[in-house]
Structure 1
Amino acid sequence: MQDILINWAPQETRVAIVENGAVQELHVERALERGQVGNIYMGRVARVLPGMQSAFVDIGLERAAFLHVADVHVAGQPHAGSRGDAAQPTPIERLVFEGQTLVVQVIKDAIGTKGARLSTQISIAGRLLVFLPQDDHIGISQKIGSPELREQLRARMNRLAATADGSPTGGFILRTNAEDAGDDELADDIAYLRKTWAAVRERGFASPPGTLLYQDLSLVERVLRDLAHDATGAIRIDSRMQFDILKAFGDEYTPGSAAKLEHYKGERPIFDLFNIDAEIARALARRVDLKSGGYLIIDQTEALTTIDVNTGGFVGARNFDDTIFKTNLEAAQAIARQLRLRNLGGIIIIDFIDMGREEHQGAVLAELRKQLARDRTKVTVSGFTQLGLVEMTRKRTRESLAHLLCEPCPTCAGKGQVKTARSVCYDILREILREARQFNPREFRVIASAAVVEMLLDEESQHLAGLSEFIGKPISLAAEATMSPEQYDIVLL
């Protein structure tokens, strides 16, 4: 059984999914930094790049967005989600041209220096269905039951989606939570989605490029649509105003989830109930301690995320092989949770502790796959490589928790380390010598951090005096409290 806690403020919404007293997922949405995934825009093609089979499209955001040929809808071809790999795409220069206006949808937020990724294959998510206005096929979630049940659902959907006058119906994908839905619920979702799309098209006819035509639901609304399910016990929200808004939305679109809504009136902040703020702080740390005494080191880079497993102080088992095996099993459970908690995506490399026995490797991989099966985000695990590493990918659509809440350190510029005071001292001595060959000031004044100045006055005083004598100029020192360890200035007086 899981509980969903919603902490709402005008500037930020935070959602925690808690199972058995432990936080499993965290979702954060800020009013001024709301993600664009799912949004539909009227775009204008700014540049076509045949060599990359892609185009840059201006949708009114800070950076031009990116459209790849694989994400361009071509009439008569099925939606990307159902298209076989064998389909040979038409070259992008024959599909779009500079200055062309296109209705596009964001499928991946801008991350780091990369602009948002777009598709012209539009899809609009409802409570039970995903609507594909440019298609006419019915798709069924692979997580739904048996092939026989999927065929029954497909037949029902074909009947419900048919229009009396035979006009184009659009395609639909049944979401996992549609498995037990009645005909009335499905029909309501079909009508809602078609109405939404009709409004988007109407707006598109009269809107200039850069116009937002449709915005996906807010995080609190997506809690009811996407995050709540049969195993959800209670959905508690700490804002009376938002509770009333959410209740009205839920009663219309997600009555099953709306019945679980509760207004939290406690004096303690809602996130204090399960110590969630401390969990967020731990989710931003490199090191994750395991109950056994082992630990994980998680490093997130632009290209990939690496996770290193270490035994630490765990010596509980009778022999070393069992110690390693039990640490790796515990690590597999913790890694799956950390990926959800931190919203880590892209390529992920896991360095489990080396195991000598193949059955141990197989058991750890099976445990990892079992734990990852709970993830609502698409995950692919490739298994152990020749180097003993596990390669996997997790679909990345939004910024990770660390990228959302943090920024690179201004002192180390994201390197994670700074030069020692001695290294900076030697940089300063070399710089003074270089400048003494070009200029002839009365005096050199060094302004640096207190630690650097202290070292120049103490341990490096002999070298400083020797340089002063060699260049024939006095060198004075001044400490500046606001300077970072690597910063310094050399002033010519």
Structure 2
Amino acid sequence: MKGRSVILGQINGLEAAALMVDGQLEDLLIDSSGFAPLPPGAICRAKLGRQMKGQGGVFVDLPEGQTGFLREGKGLRPGDTVICQVAGGAEPGKALPVSLRVLFKSRYAIVTPGAPGLNISRRIRDEETRDGLQALADMVMEGSDMGLILRSACEGTEDGEIVEDIAAMRDLAEAVMADLDGAPELLVDAPTPHEEAWREWAEPAPDEVIEGDFATHGVLDAIEALASPRVDLPGSGYMMIEPTRALVAVDVNTGNDTSPAAALKANIIAARELPRQLRLRGLGGQITIDFAPMPKRDRQALEQQLRAAIKGETETSLAGWTPLGNFEMQRKRDRVARAMLIGGTE
């Protein structure tokens, strides 16, 4: 299967969407509402609880009897009501990460309460197009103290459709952010996988959108491979990706290649592949990588490859090398771990 294809279907009875690029699974969205009452992206009214001294945050009461953890608690008091957004998934028994930086996303626009300014995606480079979009943004957002980001999908889209989209997001944002009265409540549900695929995979535009059985398009085989910790790399190398409660451990091996350049070669391939694997598996948090042994002089080149690979990914910071020679990084937990959702595919 060549080109960029969006496939909409189900996995084990759960709504799912897959993005295939030249026959390779590039991204995967699965409905997590049955496993997480408040999936990432849900917007809620919440009530602040006690401050956690030493942890730099505060617990909040969320709807569905859930507990969240908010790091931006400065200036807030216990009992205050806030509008927040679920920022990621959490293991059973742990508080959900939430944020006051609420984003109202659509296909063409992102309205940003508390972050004023009208911005246009850097991917749109044509100056005439940018000027036209700026005029639309100024017109629709006039009188609002909220910010706006026009997404790259705006390029080539009719002005009327963009205006309608911005206006709808502005109206929704203003209504939700003003709804502070009452008990903790879900105000805006997280998008379904099919909705999120339509919203997030619009640019570049897919060559085809297919509705049907994943098995007939090679998606199911790619998903089944995610159940194994082993990821085979080109050549004889491979890496093992094994999540624990504390961190995600990654071990890179050269296999039966004993040539002098085997370690650096396997490590570079692993560095390029790791962000995709973490995205597909829904893994984040602290990640410790045990690269194949190589001279210290090669570390900078490897780190450059890893830095290039994470560009455009979810929020990720590279901490660097430990005294024992491992590499540490931190990736935002913006999804529910796929292992909870996939189980054994059929």
TM range (shorter): 0.7 to 0.9
Match status 1:61 vs 2:72: no
Cα pair distance change 1:157/1:293, threshold 3 Å: same
Deviations 1:132-187 (A, max 9, x none): 2344322445x536798998588536523443xxx434211233434555643432
Matched-pair contact (CA < 8 Å) for 1:321–1:356: no
Match status 1:226 vs 2:165: no
Which residue does the alignment assign to 1:372?
310
Match status 1:271 vs 2:215: yes
Which residue does the alignment assign to 1:336?
275
Q: If you compute each CA radius of gyration, which structure gives the higher value, 1 or 2?
A: 1
Matched-pair contact (CA < 8 Å) for 1:12–1:31: no
Q: CA deviation at 1:227?
A: 2.2
Matched-pair contact (CA < 8 Å) for 2:118–2:149: yes
Unaligned stretches of 5+ residues in structure 1: 73-91, 239-268, 408-493
Match status 1:187 vs 2:163: yes
d(CA) in 1 for partners of 2:183, 2:223: 39
Matched-pair contact (CA < 8 Å) for 2:88–2:336: no
Indicate the percent of aligned positions where both proteins have the same amino acid.
27
Partner-residue secondary structure (3-state), 1:221 = helix
Cα pair distance change 1:328/1:9, threshold 3 Å: closer
Matched-pair contact (CA < 8 Å) for 2:48–2:77: yes
d(CA) in 1 for partners of 2:175, 2:115: 18
d(CA) in 1 for partners of 2:299, 2:98: 39
Q: CA deviation at 1:115?
A: 1.5
Partner-residue secondary structure (3-state), 2:302 = helix
Which residue does the alignment assign to 2:45?
42
Cα pair distance change 1:300/1:153, threshold 3 Å: farther
Match status 1:159 vs 2:138: yes
Q: CA deviation at 1:96?
A: 2.2
Which residue does the alignment assign to 2:78?
97
Matched-pair contact (CA < 8 Å) for 2:49–2:61: yes
- Counterpart code for 1:372: I
Partner-residue secondary structure (3-state), 2:261 = helix
Q: CA deviation at 1:67?
A: 2.1
Cα pair distance change 1:341/1:104, threshold 3 Å: closer
Higher relative contact order (CA 8 A, sep 6+): 2
Task: State the TM-score, normalizing by the size of structure 1.
Answer: 0.61
Which residue does the alignment assign to 1:25?
27
d(CA) in 2 for partners of 1:109, 1:337: 18
Partner-residue secondary structure (3-state), 1:281 = helix
d(CA) in 2 for partners of 1:8, 1:405: 11
Cα pair distance change 1:183/1:160, threshold 3 Å: farther
Which residue does the alignment assign to 2:253?
310
d(CA) in 2 for partners of 1:382, 1:129: 33
d(CA) in 2 for partners of 1:51, 1:357: 36
RMSD (Å), alpha carbons? 3.2
Q: CA deviation at 1:225?
A: 0.4
Higher helix fraction (1 or 2): 1
Which residue does the alignment assign to 1:283?
226
Q: For 1:204-243, list aligned pairs within 5 A.
A: 204=179, 208-238=182-212
d(CA) in 1 for partners of 2:329, 2:128: 31
Q: For 1:84-483, list aligned pairs within 5 A.
A: 92=74, 94-98=75-79, 100-141=80-121, 143-144=122-123, 152=131, 155-156=134-135, 159-163=138-142, 167-178=143-154, 183-200=159-176, 204=179, 208-238=182-212, 269-274=213-218, 276-315=219-258, 320-356=259-295, 358=297, 360-373=298-311, 375-385=312-322, 387-406=324-343
